[in-house]
């Protein structure tokens, strides 16, 4: 189905990873002409097979696109792709709109927007929530920060990829909301896992316990959508990595620091998830946090201790 406003509209999509590829495909399905780029030749080939035009560099992918979607690992890579030695800013015309859908650091997003303003290049941040499954069916939640007119201009693209678009305020605000949302999500999962571990140890059937939570005030996204299919089943296959969750909570922790807030819960969560990610590896699913939380009392967690020492060192929080 062609999205209103898609006809003859060329979009560049930089970053065709696990989330980026299905999102770019949704734009193709909506009728946009999409020029894609990724460092992975396999990702470029798969994108081309879906009907997109693939390029081996971001500069080449830009072409005559009026809007450019960035779906990249972090703020440092976003900055390099935009303003680096081979950055796309060198070839963009005035008035081009960059849509950063990455999970970037809010403060860095604002800095980048200010630097681009002098080049007459526009930027909004529009990170997503929902995972690969919702990226594939176009039902992502999309938070959008920046000028209202710029968000309105991007709305046809965003609507092709998401079911809910939530304007959050000035540029950088959407990246802040995304990081804080993932902290709340991670806290709910950790609480559900810990409570289930204790219930099991006391002789309560974990499935019965989750059923009780889901008709009680303890119900949350994790109890409804993660505990039975991924944790109790021991499949740990939700499709969202622990390293990405740790990164997002770390961004939330940095944001609290930037705002001069203690935010102890966020800080403790950042330490927990960073330590778990370091211990279990980058390929671990975020639902595997249960493996760490299920340890008997007194079990040493070297990565947690090392991280605590690092954070306590001079120059850190």
Task: Report, as residue numbers or ranges, the catalytic residues.
Answer: 178
DSSP 216-257: STT--HHHHHTIIIIIITS----S-BHHHHHHHHHHHHHHHH
Find the angle CA(260)-CA(293)-CA(207) to the nearest 5 degrees.
120
| Torsion (CA) 23, 24, 27, 28 in degrees, nearest 10 | -130
Q: State whether the Cα torsion 18-22-23-27 is positive or negative.
A: positive
> In terms of Cα–Cα distance, which of 23, 41, 40 is closest to 32?
23
Quickly tell me which residue has 């850190």 as its tokens. Answer: 316
| Run of H or E residues at 288 | none
User: In whole angstroms, how far apart are CA 104 and each of 75, 174, 196, 265?
Assistant: 5, 10, 33, 21
């Amino acid at each position: 189905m062609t999205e209103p406003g898609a006809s003859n509209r060329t979009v560049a999509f930089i970053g065709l990873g696990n989330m980026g590829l299905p999102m770019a495909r949704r734009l193709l399905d909506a009728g946009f002409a999409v020029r894609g780029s990724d460092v992975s030749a396999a990702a470029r080939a798969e994108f081309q097979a879906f009907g997109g035009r693939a390029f081996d560099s971001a500069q080449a992918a830009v072409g005559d696109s009026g809007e450019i979607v960035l779906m990249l690992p972090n703020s440092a890579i976003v900055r390099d792709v935009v303003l680096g030695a081979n950055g796309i800013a060198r070839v963009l015309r005035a008035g081009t709109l960059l849509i950063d859908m990455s999970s970037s650091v809010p403060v860095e997003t604002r800095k980048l927007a200010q630097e681009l303003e002098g080049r007459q290049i526009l930027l909004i941040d529009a990170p997503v929530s929902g995972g690969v499954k919702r990226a594939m069916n176009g039902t992502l939640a999309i938070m959008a920060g920046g000028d209202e007119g710029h968000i309105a201009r991007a709305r046809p693209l965003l609507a092709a990829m998401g079911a809910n678009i939530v304007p959050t305020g000035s540029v950088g605000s959407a990246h802040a909301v995304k990081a804080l949302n993932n902290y709340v999500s991670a806290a709910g999962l950790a609480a559900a896992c810990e409570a289930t571990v204790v219930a099991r140890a006391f002789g309560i059937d974990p499935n019965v316990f989750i059923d009780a939570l889901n008709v009680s005030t303890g119900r949350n996204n994790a109890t409804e959508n993660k505990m039975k299919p991924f944790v109790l089943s021991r499949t740990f296959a939700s499709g969202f990595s622990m390293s990405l969750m740790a990164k997002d909570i770390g961004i939330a922790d940095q944001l609290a620091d930037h705002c001069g807030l203690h935010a102890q819960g966020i800080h403790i969560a950042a330490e927990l998830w960073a330590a778990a990610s370091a211990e279990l590896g980058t390929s671990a699913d975020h639902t595997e946090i249960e493996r760490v939380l299920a340890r008997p009392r007194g079990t040493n967690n070297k990565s947690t201790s090392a991280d605590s020492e690092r954070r306590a060192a001079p120059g850190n929080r």
